[in-house]
Chain A
């Protein structure tokens, strides 16, 4: 068991709390940097997807996990980012500019969607964002002069001032840099007043307000940052997939994204990436398991949906903190061995909360 002896406030402010974290995250980064030389092509492509979905997950995590606002239309922001990137890339914009434009346009759309969030919450906000998701999907399908409609649109490869990231290795590095930068941005926000205001709004709006937090401003800001991250993810997604069509950004995608942050563990940065890894690798495991099942079940059309549903229910029931919560428990078990108690992570019964302002 590690005891961190604190001698300065900077130890609480720093991203890495102690040497152990510094070591392990450096090792992780090193592993990711050498991945193109150590992993087979197929798994490198999967890892690229994990990074892309991780960025989108970061955005949704900030919104759902840290601000407490649930969006069931998040694929719409992904779509806005992806199509913006595709259109600008075909017009010959350099990647950094088109990426910034994709993020900015998504953020703008996020600000508009954030407006109902100031008035409604919980399931009603879910319905509002769901409706928004359908609107965007429909716009992408009907605005044929720009998006190519249902027949879809091809995406050019990345062009960074003449350097083309057209191999899977070079594109992987672009994604890695974006993912690391996005993670740092979110970590920085969470350790400064803005991130604390988000958490305050999540836990109690009335006392956030009485602490001087402008609810409308911070909720809108959360929606904008979340949408911008989804836009960045969408831009990378466009280059990875290379062919965009509106149905990729429908309700199923939105549910997948929500599933990702819930299974990863709401309220943790790790959760976004663990959830992304789960979402990307699960279909492979299902494909592997198919052959072991009787053909009537194994070849059934809705097998993947059923497995996702069962896994989601299992997590909500048995591990509300998600994959990251499970990892924390395993780590604590080893740290405390042999003194781990079963009830160590049990939630205390919440005390009665005031129902004012609700």
Chain B
């Protein structure tokens, strides 16, 4: 089973004079972990924001399951089956973990405002069902201990997991993870790697992620796309991309660069 879930064609984004993303095309296959890597400012998060329709591309197009996303409103993206996490955690701070995950079920709501005002039996049934689904995610990610804790009081590592849980609660087809391991220690990064593999293998959710930690990237990714200054550098398996000459130069610079860094003699 190897059909295309998400396809990006010739994406270009300009912010004034800055070319943030330049002619980027890639296909994400159903059931794979696809990773975007690249130095800071390479345009990875911009690509994410294009997919979740926070930005609109200057030119080019994105299609999800064959449906072009160009005219889809930002809040409709989740209903199509795309969930995301953010680089600098965007949780609902003054709510409990449980509450955060319940909000994640918003696209599955079935009750209308009038039945909610009187809290009709149908609303209660829907709420029970919502709770049950959320409990599955809590169990999957081992969050039982934090269920009723306010997010504002949680340590950073747990917040990362809660954000992942909230994205999973939407029951997505495609999960966008923006730097899932940033700010995590070695052990937490290891857990994250297992979870990403489980999300792909057990839940069958396709993962598109931005990541800097190369050990995590090579452990979980099926394919990797390397970007630099808005352009595509290399696309292939983690090993192929890591060996690519252009990628090495983008991260480490060339021999010429290092000579120019040397200070001129006084």
A212 and B75: CB pair below 8 A? yes
Cα distance, A207 to B77, chains bound together (Å): 12
Say if the beta carbon of A234 comes within 8 Å of chain B.
Answer: no
Complex contacts, B123 vs chain A, CB 8 Å: 192
Report the minimum CB–CB distance from B152 to chain A (whole Å): 6
Report the minimum CB–CB distance from B3 to chain A (whole Å): 25
Contact of A194 (CB < 8 Å), options: B54, B116, B166 = B116
Per-residue contact bits, chain A 191-230, to B (CB 8 Å; 1 contact, 0 not)? 1111111011011101111111111000001000000000
Complex contacts, B111 vs chain A, CB 8 Å: 192-193
Say if the beta carbon of A2 comes within 8 Å of chain B.
Answer: no
Say if the beta carbon of A339 comes within 8 Å of chain B.
Answer: no
Complex contacts, A193 vs chain B, CB 8 Å: 105-106, 109, 111, 116
Q: Which of A82-101 contact B (CB under 8 A)?
A: none
A350 and B92: CB pair below 8 A? no
Cα distance, A37 to B70, chains bound together (Å): 67
Interface of A is mostly: helix
- How many residues on A have C-beta within 8 angstroms of the other chain's C-beta atoms? 40
Complex contacts, A356 vs chain B, CB 8 Å: 49, 54
Say if the beta carbon of A352 comes within 8 Å of chain B.
Answer: yes
Complex contacts, B128 vs chain A, CB 8 Å: 9-10, 13
Cα distance, A208 to B78, chains bound together (Å): 10
Number of A-B contacts (CB under 8 A): 121
Contact of A199 (CB < 8 Å), options: B52, B103, B119 = B103
Cα distance, A33 to B215, chains bound together (Å): 67
Interface magnitude class on chain B: 35 or more
Complex contacts, B76 vs chain A, CB 8 Å: 212
Q: Which of A12-67 contact B (CB under 8 A)?
A: 12-13
Say if the beta carbon of B212 comes within 8 Å of chain A.
Answer: no
A203 and B87: CB pair below 8 A? no
B131 and A12: CB pair below 8 A? yes
Q: Which of B12-67 contact A (CB under 8 A)?
A: 49, 52, 54
Looking at the complex, which of B93-101, B192-200, B238-246, B247-255 is the stretch in contact with chain A?
B93-101
Q: Which of B156-191 contact A (CB under 8 A)?
A: 156, 159, 166, 170
Say if the beta carbon of A357 comes within 8 Å of chain B.
Answer: yes
A192 and B116: CB pair below 8 A? yes
Cα distance, A127 to B127, chains bound together (Å): 38
A210 and B52: CB pair below 8 A? yes
A203-B94, A350-B152 known; A196 and B88 CB under 8 Å?
Answer: no
Cα distance, A182 to B86, chains bound together (Å): 37
Say if the beta carbon of B5 comes within 8 Å of chain A.
Answer: no
Say if the beta carbon of A271 comes within 8 Å of chain B.
Answer: no
- The 10 A-B pairs at the shortest CB distance, nearest first, are namely A212-B78, A203-B92, A212-B107, A192-B116, A207-B90, A193-B109, A9-B131, A188-B119, A354-B88, A204-B90
Give chain A's interface residues, CB within 8 Å of chain B.
9-10, 12-13, 185, 188-189, 191-197, 199-200, 202-204, 206-215, 221, 267, 347-348, 350-354, 356-357
- Beyond contacts A10-B124, A350-B93: 8 other A-B pairs, Cβ-Cβ < 8 A, are A9-B131, A188-B118, A189-B116, A192-B123, A199-B92, A199-B103, A351-B88, A351-B159
